[in-house]
Amino acid sequence: MTSAARRADFLMALAYATDLATGHSRDFALRSCVLSMRFADLLNLDDSIRRDVYHQALLRYIGCNADSHLLAAAFGDEIALRRDLQRIDISNKSELAETIVRAITRTFADAPPAELAQAVERGLAEAMQVSVPILSGHCEVAKRIAERIGLSKETQENLGQLYERWDGRGLPRGLSGGAVKLPVRIVTLAQDAIALNEAHGFETMRAMISKRGDGAYEAELANLFVAHAESLLSGLDDPVDRETILSIEPHPHAVLDEEACEEAYIAIADMIDMRMPFTFGHSRAVSALADAAGKRLALPASDIREVRWAAYTHDIGELAVPVSTWMRRGAFTERETDAAKLHPYHGERALASLGREGTAIAALVLRHHERLDGSGYHRNARAPDLAPAARILAAAEAFQTAREARPHRPALSDAAAASKLRSAVREGKLCAEAVEAVLASAGQPGRRDDAERMSGLTSREIEVLRLIAAGHTAKEAARRLEIAPKTADNHIQNLYSKIGVTTRAAAALYALERGLIQQGSSAG
Ligand SMILES: [Fe+2]
């Protein structure tokens, strides 16, 4: 049996994930989609623009998960920072400075006063220096992901205008007036209205939108919005269901065949894994192992497809926990541990939009950290509740994670990771058959050698690309390659122009797309 799904279902899963990663409220992107479409109706826009509005609202932040570790390193809890940024006018320097100081103070709350003062000074000095390249990277990544799920050139261009404003004081390029595309202007206004309404209440939101006329927004649009704000926002305090979002998609409704579904799942995998160098390529690798193990154990084809797709998305709920927490070398607090252990729950919720087949995939995602003896999380499920596909996913995830480095430990060798899994079998936690199938699959020659041959890059270029994807700066790359920093810089620039990107994040995504990430050692 083949599989087909509405593309909008995938967009909703991506929207749910980006809401988590950017600190937005529940169903923020979905509610903003309804609001933006109502506004588009009020403006009497034709179907082609309405389609762009629909995509912009659901996917505006789709690239914003890239390089979250850089934001986290500069400002601490990046999810809380993003939540605060939604409520201010980021062109207002004093509001921006206040928000950054609050973020840094939150992170360094326990540090001695002198260290806190230094961190604040550094954060303020670096704010623009850090933010502009990161935002440019977000835009490029968003465009590439949109292309991979088959969205139009127009949608890709709109996604590249992430924080552009009517008055030219936006980012990343400082476009102004009509150069900022109409769908971007509509969705920016609608999303600000929802965030401001939540933070300050209806009347203050109206006053703030009105005051920003000819600033952040075109005055004509702002005035029209304010005049109809009550009816436009009516009922949007509550969550929005899947059927509503499916019903407002402009015709013709996009449907993905099985191959396109596979691509969409891979796009979600890459989006999840781009948040920090430690996880680059993780979900693709788990998926390849689970698929091969499923075949070895002769599971039905539909089960193999489900476990492969569940593996692509298994950590989607991890986006609810700040990268600043995942990146820390020290132990988690009790509260952080609880939040981290809830990620399978968020994952199940994120995939709820995927319809009938999505239910089976979500059920696997929910169980990916469960163990046969009930010692896993978050529901402490036991053997009878863990079908073969769930056992394979758990084994593939455990093996892959063990051979990847994490901030608090180095990567294990394949042999050491295998013995760790066999111990877990002996302790009654993992299924022996599933573990042996995964381990046997890991012993097969990978696709990487083929990928290297096919990429058209020299081995030196691939080496440079891998270092960049692993988050190394030009200076660090130079040290590892034992060449002068200037030469490393030239290598990087030549590589960028050869593969047609201008940012680190887009280069990293390129490496993932072509299977050039070295599993288990990417974080060095
Ligand atoms: Fe996980």
pLDDT, one tens digit per residue, over 286-314 is 999 999 999 999 999 999 999 999 999 99
Q: How far is the centre of ligand 1, averaged over its atoms, from the C-alpha of 341 (Å)?
A: 8
Share of the chain above pLDDT 90, in %: 56
Which one has a higher pLDDT value, 20 or 120? Answer: 20
pLDDT of residue 197: 95
Q: How far is the centre of ligand 1, averaged over its atoms, from the C-alpha of 84 (Å)?
A: 27
Within 10 angstroms of residue 184's Cβ, the number of other Cβ atoms is 25
C-alpha–C-alpha distance, residues 119 and 126, integer Å: 10
Q: How far is the centre of ligand 1, averaged over its atoms, from the C-alpha of 182 (Å)?
A: 39
The answer, yes or no, to whether residue 449 has pLDDT greater than 60, is: no
Among 324-338, 386-400, 419-433, 506-520, where is mean pLDDT lowest? 506-520
Among 126-135, 391-400, 415-424, 441-450, where is mean pLDDT lowest? 441-450
Q: How far is the centre of ligand 1, averaged over its atoms, from the C-alpha of 347 (Å)?
A: 9
C-alpha–C-alpha distance, residues 203 and 423, integer Å: 61
Q: How far is the centre of ligand 1, averaged over its atoms, from the C-alpha of 309 (Å)?
A: 14
Q: What is the mean pLDDT of residues 5-25?
A: 91
Q: How far is the centre of ligand 1, averaged over its atoms, from the C-alpha of 367 (Å)?
A: 9
Q: Which residue matches tokens 């996917």?
A: 59
Closest Cα to residue 345, out of 373, 381, 374, 375? 381
Q: How far is the centre of ligand 1, averaged over its atoms, from the C-alpha of 335 (Å)?
A: 17
pLDDT of residue 325: 84
Q: How far is the centre of ligand 1, averaged over its atoms, from the C-alpha of 468 (Å)?
A: 25
Confidence tier at 363 by pLDDT (50, 70, 90): very high
Q: What is the mean pLDDT of residues 96-120?
A: 81
Residue 386 three-state SS: coil
Q: How far is the centre of ligand 1, averaged over its atoms, from the C-alpha of 314 (Å)?
A: 6
pLDDT tens digits, 195-204 = 999 999 999 9
Confidence tier at 518 by pLDDT (50, 70, 90): low
Q: How far is the centre of ligand 1, averaged over its atoms, from the C-alpha of 361 (Å)?
A: 14
Is the separation of the CB atoms in 78 and 322 below 8 Å?
A: yes
Q: How far is the centre of ligand 1, averaged over its atoms, from the C-alpha of 11 (Å)?
A: 22
Share of the chain above pLDDT 70, in %: 96
The answer, yes or no, to whether residue 249 has pLDDT greater than 90, is: yes
Residues around the ion ligand 1 (C-beta < 5 A): 315
What single DSSP character describes residue 228?
T
pLDDT of residue 522: 38
Q: What length is written for the chain? A: 524
Q: How far is the centre of ligand 1, averaged over its atoms, from the C-alpha of 292 (Å)?
A: 20
Q: How far is the centre of ligand 1, averaged over its atoms, from the C-alpha of 401 (Å)?
A: 9
Confidence tier at 480 by pLDDT (50, 70, 90): confident
Q: How far is the centre of ligand 1, averaged over its atoms, from the C-alpha of 438 (Å)?
A: 17
pLDDT of residue 520: 44
Instruction: Encode 348-384: b = buried (16+ Cβ within 10 Å), e = exposed.
Output: bbbbbbbbebbebbbbbbbbbbbbbeeebbbeebeee
pLDDT of residue 444: 42
The answer, yes or no, to whether residue 36 has pLDDT greater than 60, is: yes
pLDDT of residue 2: 58
Q: How far is the centre of ligand 1, averaged over its atoms, from the C-alpha of 340 (Å)?
A: 9
Confidence tier at 446 by pLDDT (50, 70, 90): very low
pLDDT of residue 523: 35
Q: How far is the centre of ligand 1, averaged over its atoms, from the C-alpha of 429 (Å)?
A: 16
Q: How far is the centre of ligand 1, averaged over its atoms, from the C-alpha of 365 (Å)?
A: 8
Q: How far is the centre of ligand 1, averaged over its atoms, from the C-alpha of 358 (Å)?
A: 18
Q: What is the mean pLDDT of residues 244-261?
A: 94
Q: How far is the centre of ligand 1, averaged over its atoms, from the C-alpha of 125 (Å)?
A: 36
Q: How far is the centre of ligand 1, averaged over its atoms, from the C-alpha of 355 (Å)?
A: 22
Q: How far is the centre of ligand 1, averaged over its atoms, from the C-alpha of 188 (Å)?
A: 33
Q: How far is the centre of ligand 1, averaged over its atoms, from the C-alpha of 369 (Å)?
A: 6
Average pLDDT, the chain: 88
Confidence tier at 102 by pLDDT (50, 70, 90): confident
Q: How far is the centre of ligand 1, averaged over its atoms, from the C-alpha of 349 (Å)?
A: 14
Q: How far is the centre of ligand 1, averaged over its atoms, from the C-alpha of 1 (Å)?
A: 29
Is the separation of the CB atoms in 27 and 83 below 8 Å?
A: no
Among 235-239, 301-305, 446-450, 468-472, where is mean pLDDT lowest? 446-450
Q: What is the mean pLDDT of residues 349-364?
A: 86
Q: How far is the centre of ligand 1, averaged over its atoms, from the C-alpha of 317 (Å)?
A: 8
Confidence tier at 56 by pLDDT (50, 70, 90): very high
The answer, yes or no, to whether residue 188 has pLDDT greater than 60, is: yes
Q: How far is the centre of ligand 1, averaged over its atoms, from the C-alpha of 213 (Å)?
A: 44
pLDDT tens digits, 66-92 = 878 887 877 778 888 888 887 787 777
pLDDT of residue 127: 74
The answer, yes or no, to whether residue 524 has pLDDT greater than 70, is: no
Q: What is the mean pLDDT of residues 17-29?
A: 90
Is the separation of the CB atoms in 191 and 18 below 8 Å?
A: no
Q: How far is the centre of ligand 1, averaged over its atoms, from the C-alpha of 56 (Å)?
A: 29
pLDDT of residue 521: 40
Q: What is the mean pLDDT of residues 148-163?
A: 92
Q: How far is the centre of ligand 1, averaged over its atoms, from the C-alpha of 343 (Å)?
A: 7
Confidence tier at 445 by pLDDT (50, 70, 90): very low
pLDDT of residue 452: 60
C-alpha–C-alpha distance, residues 318 and 352, integer Å: 16
Q: How far is the centre of ligand 1, averaged over its atoms, from the C-alpha of 74 (Å)?
A: 26
Q: How far is the centre of ligand 1, averaged over its atoms, from the C-alpha of 280 (Å)?
A: 14
Q: Which two tokens stand for residue 484?
A: 């002068």
C-alpha–C-alpha distance, residues 291 and 345, integer Å: 23
pLDDT tens digits, 451-467 = 565 567 877 888 888 88
pLDDT of residue 89: 78
Q: How far is the centre of ligand 1, averaged over its atoms, from the C-alpha of 162 (Å)?
A: 29
Q: How far is the centre of ligand 1, averaged over its atoms, from the C-alpha of 454 (Å)?
A: 32
Q: How far is the centre of ligand 1, averaged over its atoms, from the C-alpha of 85 (Å)?
A: 28
The answer, yes or no, to whether residue 225 has pLDDT greater than 90, is: yes
